[in-house]
Chain A
Amino acid sequence: MTAQLIEEAREGLRQFPPALAQEFEAAVEAVQPILEPDELGHWLGDGLDIARHSLRSWEAASEYFRASGPVLEQVTYDRMREWCLVGIDLMETSPALSGALFRASPAVLPHLSVPQANDWAAQGKSLYKGTWKSGSLSAQYFDVSPQILPHLPLSQMRLLVDLIDSLASHSYELASACLGMAPGVLSQLDRSDRAPFLEFGGIVAHTAWVDARVYFERGPGALRQVSEDQRPRYLSLAGQVAMQVGRLGHPYFIEAAQALSEVDKDIHQGLLELSEQLAGHSGDAAMEFLKSSPRVANRLGIDDIARWQEFGLQILQQSRDGGEAFFRLESARGEEVMEALSSRVDLDRVSELIRMYCKALTGVDVGVKASEELTAKGVGWVDESSPTTEGTTIYLPENVERYPTKDENFAVYKVFATHQAGRLEFGSFEYQSDLDPVHFPAAQNGAGSSAQNGHSNGVAPAVVDGEAAEIHTDMERFFDQFDDRRLAHDLFTIVEDTRIDTIVKREYAGVRRAFSRLQQAAIDRRRPVEDMPARQAMVENLLRASLDEIGRIRWPNELAEEMRTPLRILNRIRHEGATVQDSAAATALLYEWLSQIPNVELDSEDWSDFEQEMSGDPDSGEDSDMMPGSGSSGLEESFMPFMPGSEERPYDSPDPVDFRGDFKPELVQLLMKLKGETGSGDAPPIPLTKEQLQELLEKSVEISINELMDMDLAESSGMFLDNLLKEVNQIQGERQEGQQAMGDDSTGAEDGEELPVEAASFYYDEWDFRAADYKPRWCRVQEQRGESGSTSYYTETLHEHTQLVQETRKQFEMLRPELFRKMKRLTDGEDYDLDAVIEWYTEKIAGGASETKLFYRRNKVERDVAVAFLLDVSASTDEEIQKHHDQRQDDQFDDDPRKYLSWWAQRRAEAARHPGKRIIDLEKEATVLLIEALETIGDKYGVYGFSGYGRDNVEFFVYKDMDEPFGDRIKERIDKIAPVRSTRMGPAIRHCIWKLQNTDAKVKILMLLSDGRPQDHGYGRDRTEKEYAIHDTKMALTEARREGMVPFALTVDRAGHDYLKQMCQDMAYEVVADIESLPRRLPALYRRLTG
């Protein structure tokens, strides 16, 4: 029966290609054992129906047969039949789809119930639009379904299909590519993120379909940067924003996620909430807020961020642009609010203040910089966060955010700075071996002559192979006395810091409170003493005592006596008048005492807070008490009972005290010596060989090479030496430069070659009229000297315009004020005003004179004018000037091309012979004439040019600075004035304002000479926008006015009236209609302006 059915079917399939028959045979073999005979009948019937359905439906049939076996292994035939009907149904649409469906079946069926299968197929069908391309997309859908369905429930498949469908309406290739990527993308995502991911994808497909591929490629990676539980939320926010902002939606999504990755994940939720609030008002603001979040979070806690956001939200509600600029951190207000909310104090905001403070305290020119800058030099300092000094500059951590208020944090800075300034003020680095201490007997100095002879204890004579090794600094010689340099260094640090702190607290009572607070905090962070071996514990206790906390010393009761002596020594350093010599003497005493203490573990039940009975009178006891030796002969014995084992433990330095920072007296003295700044005066800088340095490195505990660099000693010490010498040379170089600069002024500009000067950078705000606020530090102006050419240009120009030069010179000479101007009719003055007296007398004879204002007085009139000329040297000034009559000629050719061509060729030939003048040439000529005129009148003037590209690169050329004397150099530079790039006027004007501010004159004029409207890359929303640039320029000119300067804008752009009117409003401006009259016009204008 069955065999007959099979045979019939085989017969029926004969009309189709043999491939189908093969599939059929294989399938029969697979299903025959499984199916009941009637089921088999249906199965065969369906297969034949499919194959016969239409022209190419045999392919679908072959898929059907191939899938049957695997499918039946998983489901019953009834199920399979229902599913088969779905496929047959699809045949009506497209046999190819049907084939794809069957092909996908074995893998898909386990995931789907019957109704789902219908749904699944329907979705695939919905992609089919009757075209070849849509068909293959739809087929692809069925093909990838097996890989997608494990990741995506069918209910969410709709999202993907809609997305793909939407893409397909733009590009089938893109849709197909995305569909192909979908399984991989979905598998990367968390289950809960998949639907939101597709939802946002759907929006991207609508708003910016070209971004879809990038979204599929980079989206999952971007999303991973967001805190796990916040990802769906982030996606929905991104979707909300994308609906508003369209094409920007996707870039925002990527960038904001990137920004979030830089922020602590814990506050993602908070940030997103705040962003969602903004999204209701402006999608841009919401995303800009997230993009700014790393910088903001760096300054503010989440609560303060909320306050900051609230402030920005208010601005946003008033002005969209203003709010968006606020959140982009492109508004001065945004920065201000952040600064106000943040409790953190940044060094760069207070460094000048602290610098002046330290200068006031110390009386020397100290610099204040971030510690990082010192560590970056690689000259021995490694800690980036602790305050320190290398003798000329005080280094402080970049910011302080320890306490909840700004004032408290600033107080921390102040304590840091005061302590470091104290080291300079009270001479921590001025140790000299030949000076006696004040409070300690000279013999105990441990230095001077005794050092040379070798001290009784722990002193290594500084003699190697009978030849005295070169000793570089007094500090080095001091430390050389001790076998254990680390211990000596630690003790010296404790003693010297104690001395400094004591003096600081005595001298500066006002910082005591802040000091105590930090001391308290420092002591709270100390590690427990009890765990330390004896010597180390004693050092630790000394350090605690040095922090003014006798009560915090922990020490075995039984050994109280042994602790008392060092404490007494330390206390003596607190006496008024103690110097660094005393510190050295105290160090030597302490060293002798402590070096006898075995560094072994102490076993005592009786650790207790140390009672300092003698604290009230630290002076009690004779000097001999401090002497080790007689009194302490049994030091070691007294420790014996408490030593469970006699094993020496390695000695560790005590933890540093943060507010005291790094102390490297030996290195500082070395640096000073290398720089030739020895305390002793004019000792020449000593050369230091690499070997000597290496020796020094090996013995000094202040430089730990392996911390410094990750290389072997020889290599790193070489590097260190290089750095050190670089540092020294740099300072000497600066000094020389300073001398040179001073020399320049006196000897004039003739001598020597001009050194190329690196561009100095200045930062200026820029006015954003939309936000009605400044963008803080928005533009970087790079000031550089104009290049030098030859002086011949200048002379030639003068020659060319001899007539004009003489004319203007004469006019300007008339401008020169008379020295005195008579003021008449005063009640009191230098002498009688004859006219008034005659008048008075006649009136008097007539009988009625009462006028007594008969005097005159000469008042001195000084012409005190400074002017800054700002030339536009943007590329547009390269344009040749079109003469009017040329244009008129254009019309005279009567459409005769030959006439025109010959005219044109003639013109070109002429142009080659006499290149036409460009705008810049006229600017230069005008400048030359003006300079000639100004030199006769004696006004101060500067000639500058500006150009640039983008806000970071505003080039500001100095052709002649305000205080520079006129000479050949200036002439040479004028020769080289040449067109460069764009026209960003605002920052150039602001820089000119700064120049004028630093010039002393009663009348200050800022003259702007340009050839067109301000324009630059990013100077406005896009290149075509004019408003922004004009507003910024206007604001810059207004600033000049506010500073009491007279701004004047001059343009040779005949269309200049429209924007100049807007830019200058009530300020003076002129459009020079006939460009060629510029050289004549400029001096005339100047005369009018200052006359």
Chain B
Amino acid sequence: MTTATEPITEYRSWAVEEFRLEEEPYYVPVADEVEVFQAAWNSKIPVLLKGPTGCGKTRFVEYMAYHLNRPLAVVRDGKTEIEDESNLPLVTVACHEDLTASDLVGRYLLEGNETVWIDGPLTRAVKAGAICYLDEVVEARKDTTVLIHPLTDHRRILPVEKKSQLLQARDGFLLVISFNPGYQSALKDLKQSTRQRFVAVEFDYPPRETEAEIVQHESGCDYDVALNLAKMAEKIRNLREHGLAEGASTRLLIYAGRMIAEGVSPRRACQVSIVWPLTDDGEVQRSIEEVVSSIFED
């Protein structure tokens, strides 16, 4: 029962570095990626996630951020006590081609008569000991990749040039980057000097049954439908590099599953949530639609 005087909060906001996942993200491990990531985090080795779009890279990072606990140390009466454990904050930066170093590190802004320094998300993550996830890192400008070099080796240092500072990363900080080797042109490949600072976890779409399970869970459709969707995705992925830049992602399958759960007919649901998003090429569209219509009855 709310009264008119109480404003209803319709959105929630966090400071970038304070965002923590409160509920466990749904993630089905396909191989040993959880253990690998855990080990990397323990050893403070940054992680490179490779894999096609929509196969669960971001979800995996969320899942790991939730599960990697860090003791929250409180200094009381000169003694350090471990009071609580909390999961790691997660700072996600979606990289784009105009993303510059200062976008990540921070900059001075004018406010009235003075300049104010604003930390960038990377700086905040370094300070907060968060997982910093740079999504699609190859899209960013080259100078940003150089910036992260000192952070990724044993030094774990972020130089903040404009303030003439060096920031030592707090415990728990881990740099995670992702990239999709599939559709980037040769120009946008990661430099060797950058690549060789990471342990790499390769992702691919999960096997049919696992994918069906995921789709069922995430979309709320029947398992049979989910299994058919997964089967269909397998077939469509066969067309990768032959008319299709990328196969149908698990994410799209989930969308399709949701549409079906909402009562849209399966063929139509696949059309709007898989075929059309995937490609604009009429002939490829039709081929995929034939696959869809082979698998789903009207």
Q: What is A's interface to B at a CB cutoff of 8 Å?
A: 352-354, 356-357, 359-363, 365, 414, 418, 507-513, 828, 830, 852, 854, 857, 859-860, 1000
Contacts and interface: CB of A to CB of B under 8 A. Distances in A.
Given A356-B242, A363-B235, 16 more contacts: A353-B287, A353-B290, A354-B290, A356-B243, A359-B242, A360-B239, A361-B291, A361-B294, A418-B294, A507-B231, A507-B295, A510-B292, A510-B294, A511-B293, A857-B100, A859-B98
Nearest to B97: A860
Contact of B141 (A359, A365, A510, A860): A860
Given A352-B283, A365-B242, A509 B295 contact: yes
30 contacts: A352-B283, A354-B287, A356-B239, A356-B242, A356-B284, A357-B287, A357-B290, A357-B291, A357-B294, A359-B238, A359-B239, A359-B242, A360-B287, A360-B288, A360-B291, A361-B291, A362-B238, A418-B294, A507-B231, A508-B295, A509-B295, A510-B292, A510-B293, A510-B294, A510-B296, A511-B293, A512-B297, A854-B110, A859-B98, A860-B141
A363 B110 contact: no
6 closest pairs, A vs B, by CB?
Answer: A356-B287, A508-B294, A363-B238, A360-B235, A510-B294, A357-B290
Interface string B278-291: 00000110111011
B294 A414 contact: yes
A512 B293 CA distance: 10
Contacts of A365: 242
Given A830-B100, A830-B102, A857-B100, A360 B238 contact: yes
Contacts of B296: 509-510
B228 to A, nearest CB: 8
B236 A360 contact: yes
Nearest to A352: B283
A487 to B, nearest CB: 34
A830 B102 CA distance: 6
Contact of B235 (A361, A513, A830, A857): A361
A672 to B, nearest CB: 21
B107 interface: yes
Contacts of A360: 235-236, 238-239, 287-288, 291
Contacts of A830: 100, 102
Contacts of A512: 297
B297 A509 contact: yes
A360 B232 CA distance: 9
Contacts of A359: 238-239, 242
Given A414-B290, A828-B107, A860-B141, A353 B239 contact: no
A857 B242 CA distance: 40
B189 to A, nearest CB: 15
Contacts of A859: 98
A353 B294 CA distance: 14
Interface in B94-115: 98, 100, 102, 107, 109-110
Interface of B: 98, 100, 102, 107, 109-110, 141, 185, 228, 231, 235-236, 238-239, 242-243, 267, 283-284, 286-288, 290-298
B270 to A, nearest CB: 11
Contacts of B294: 357, 361, 414, 418, 508, 510-511
A954 to B, nearest CB: 26
Contacts of A362: 238
Nearest to B243: A356
| Residue of A361, A507, A508, A828 with most partner-chain B CB within 10 A | A508
A1000 B98 CA distance: 21
Contacts of B286: 353
A734 B98 CA distance: 45
| Residue of A357, A418, A859, A1000 with most partner-chain B CB within 10 A | A357
Contacts of A418: 294
A354 B197 CA distance: 45
Contacts of A363: 235, 238
| Residue of A365, A830, A852 with most partner-chain B CB within 10 A | A830
Contacts of A857: 100
| Residue of B141, B238, B288, B294 with most partner-chain A CB within 10 A | B294
Contact of A361 (B107, B141, B238, B293): B238
Nearest to A356: B287
Contacts of B287: 353-354, 356-357, 360
Nearest to B187: A862
B11 to A, nearest CB: 25
A418 B294 CA distance: 9
Contacts of B102: 830
A1000 B295 CA distance: 36
A414 B290 CA distance: 8
A816 B165 CA distance: 38
Contacts of B283: 352-353, 356
Nearest to A364: B238
Contacts of B228: 509
Nearest to B235: A360
A131 B109 CA distance: 115
A860 B99 CA distance: 12
B285 to A, nearest CB: 10
A335 B236 CA distance: 32
A852 B108 CA distance: 12
A513 B294 CA distance: 10
A507 B110 CA distance: 64
Contacts of B291: 357, 360-361
A860 B98 CA distance: 9
Nearest to B292: A510
A746 to B, nearest CB: 14
Contacts of B98: 859
A353 B282 CA distance: 10
A363 B288 CA distance: 13
Contacts of A356: 239, 242-243, 283-284, 287-288
Nearest to B110: A852
B236 to A, nearest CB: 6
Contacts of B293: 510-511
Nearest to B238: A363
A854 B291 CA distance: 56
B111 to A, nearest CB: 9
Nearest to A509: B297
A559 to B, nearest CB: 39
Contacts of A354: 287, 290
A886 B188 CA distance: 59
A510 B295 CA distance: 5
| Residue of B239, B287, B292, B298 with most partner-chain A CB within 10 A | B287
| Residue of A360, A418, A510, A860 with most partner-chain B CB within 10 A | A360
A451 to B, nearest CB: 36
Contacts of A352: 283
B67 to A, nearest CB: 35
A510 B229 CA distance: 13
B73 to A, nearest CB: 37
Contacts of B239: 356, 359-360
A859 B99 CA distance: 11
A816 B179 CA distance: 31
Nearest to A361: B235
Contact of B297 (A357, A510, A854): A510
Contacts of B284: 356
A256 to B, nearest CB: 37
Nearest to A840: B110
| Residue of B236, B243, B267 with most partner-chain A CB within 10 A | B243
A860 B284 CA distance: 35
B114 to A, nearest CB: 12
A510 B242 CA distance: 24
Contacts of A511: 293-294
Contacts of A513: 297
Nearest to B293: A510
A361 B283 CA distance: 16
A353 B239 CA distance: 12
Contacts of B107: 828
A354 B288 CA distance: 10
Nearest to A854: B110
